[in-house]
Structure 1
Amino acid sequence: MGTLTYDSKLVVSFDDRVLAHLQAAIWAKLRRGEPFAFTWTESASASGFGRTSVWLSPAIPVAFEYFGGRAPRLNPAWVQAMNRSANSAGGLTIVPEPLEAGREPTG
C-alpha cells in the first residue's frame, strides 16, 4: 500500500498499482495547469468516512509514496480511462481497470 498526501494534511492509502495509475492521471492534469476534483471511496470502518473529495490544483502540494521499490507496470487503457474520468464534470474517480488491448484475461 502506498500513500497519497494532499496539502501535507490528508494522507490516504491506495494499492501501489492503483496509486501509480492515479499519479499518471493527476500529473497529466496538473502539468497542464488544470485544477479538478478527485473523489474516492473507502471503508467507513477504516477511516470513519465512506467517501472523500478534494480539489486538486497546481498550487496545492500532492505527494505519492510507494511501499514497493519497483514502479508497477502501467496499463495504458487504465491511464486513459482515468484521464477521461478526470476530464469529466464529476472529476477523477478510481474506475475499474480495463483489459489491455492484446492481453488475455487472467484467472
Structure 2
Amino acid sequence: MAYLYYGADARPAEIPDHVLAHVKVVAATKLRRGESFMLTWRHRGEGTGGRTSLWMQPSIPLRFVFDEPEPEALDSEYLRKLANEATSSRGIVLEWDDEAIVGHPGEAPPIDAMAA
C-alpha cells in the first residue's frame, strides 16, 4: 500500500502503490499548472463504509509515500483516463479491489511522464 497525506491531517489515505503512482503524475501536472481538481475514493476494509473526497489545490501540502523503493511502471492509457477525469466536474474517482484496479485497461508500455 501507498499513503497519501493531504493538508494538516496526520492520518494518510491508504491507496495501492500502482494507483497512487498514477494519481501522483496527474496531480503534479495539474497542480504545477495551478489547476485544482476533486479526488474521490471509497473507504476499504472491514466495517468501513462511505467515501472521501479531497479538493486538490496547489496551496495545500501533499505527500506521497510508497512501500516499494522502485517507481511503478506507468500505463499511458490509465494516465489519460485519470487526466480526463481530473478535468471533469466529477473529478477523479478511484476504484480498486484487492486484486486489480477496476477500470484499469491493462499493462501498456511504461512512460516517464503524462502526455499533456
Fold match by TM threshold 0.5: yes
Aligned match of 2:33: 32
Structure 1 runs (4+) deviating above 6 angstroms are none
Note if contact 2:76-2:108 (Cα within 8 Å) is conserved in structure 1.
no
Matches within 5 A, 1:66-105: 66-94=66-94, 96-100=103-107
- Unpaired runs of 5+ in structure 2? 96-102, 110-116
Note if contact 2:75-2:108 (Cα within 8 Å) is conserved in structure 1.
no
Q: 1:44 to 1:66 in 2, by over 3 A?
A: closer
**Cα distance in 2, alignment partners of residues 76 and 50 from structure 1:** 30
Aligned match of 1:50: 50
| Deviation of the 1:45 alpha carbon | 3.3
- With normalisation by structure 1, the TM-score equals 0.84
Aligned residues: CA RMSD: 1.9
Residue by residue, what CA displacement relative to the aligned partner does 1:48-87 show, whole Å, maximum 9, x if unpaired?
4421111110000110000001101000110010001111
| Deviation of the 1:99 alpha carbon | 3.0
Q: How many residues align?
A: 101
Residue by residue, what CA displacement relative to the aligned partner does 1:19-74 show, whole Å, maximum 9, x if unpaired?
1011111111101101111111122636x442111111000011000000110100
- With normalisation by structure 2, the TM-score equals 0.78
State the secondary structure of the residue aligned to 1:69.
coil
User: Higher helix proportion, which one?
Assistant: 1
**Cα distance in 2, alignment partners of residues 101 and 13 from structure 1:** 25
